[in-house]
Amino acid sequence: MFCSTMSRVEDKHLIGRLNERLSNSGFRFTPQRQHVYAVLSRSGDHPTAEEMFIRAKQEMPDISMATVYNCLDALVKSGLAKQVMVERGAIRFCPNMTAHSHFYCDSCQGIFDIEVPVADGWQLPKGYEAERFDLTIHGRCPECNSWKR
């Protein structure tokens, strides 16, 4: 099995983090997980599992769908990716682990990472203990807005 993915200089720093995070969460470090992580990390969008499968296959032709699901699951549980659930159908994955929210364009169905100044300490009802939050803002993206309807 040939895989040139990690020979990229710009990906080098990711490997160490990946290995550490995986083992911290009780997962093994495998070539497939390394590759799926690399492919997701260099994605500028929010691919579905199937899109990840197609992209991963380009450099690792023998990888299977089940393995892609397995790898994505390991990445999510290791804190290296997020699941994004904004529309019906396939779940999407987000490699951006910095604090951010999502914008969903009702016109073009695009998903965009956005930074919005959000008060982190929500005033929750008594007894609730917040761990994290997911904020998705719906509307029209700049591109679709420039068309003016």
The binding site for DNA (CB under 7 A) comprises 19, 23, 26-33, 48-50, 60, 62-67, 69-71, 73-74, 88-91
Instruction: Give residue 107's Cα distance to chain centre.
Output: 22
Q: Name the minimum Å distance from CB 30 to a copy of itself.
A: 23
| Region of 28-36, 45-53, 58-66, 113-121 interacting with a copy of itself (CB under 8 A) | 113-121
Cβ contact 100:135 at 8 Å: no
Query: Which option in DNA, a copy of itself, none does residue 94 bind, with CB closer than 5 to 8 A by kind?
Result: none
Structure token digits, residue 57: 């296959």
Q: Taken in order 42, 47, 52, 54, is the CA torsion positive or negative?
A: negative
Judged by CB under 8 A, does residue 130 bind a copy of itself? yes
Is residue 120 part of the contact set for a copy of itself (CB under 8 A)? Answer: no
Residue pair 53/68 in contact by the 8 Å Cβ criterion: yes
